[in-house]
Amino acid sequence: MILIVDDDARIRDAAAGALSALGHQVISACDGHEALAICTRQPDIKLVVTDVIMPRLKGPDFVARVRATRPDLRVIYISGSIGDTPRTALGDHPLLAKPFTAATLTQLVQQTLAA
Burial degree of 76 (CB within 10 A; 0-12, 13-18, 19+): buried
Length of the chain: 115
Q: Is the confidence at residue 86, as pLDDT, over 90?
A: no
pLDDT score for 23: 95
Sheet holding 26-29, edge to edge: 26-29, 2-5, 47-51, 74-79, 95-97
Model confidence, pTM: 0.95
Q: Is the confidence at residue 98, as pLDDT, over 80?
A: yes
- pLDDT band for position 80 (50/70/90)? confident
Bridge-based pairing state of the strands 2-5 and 26-29: parallel
- pLDDT band for position 84 (50/70/90)? confident
How many other C-beta atoms can be found within 10 angstroms of the C-beta atom of residue 106? Answer: 16
Q: Is the confidence at residue 72, as pLDDT, over 90?
A: yes
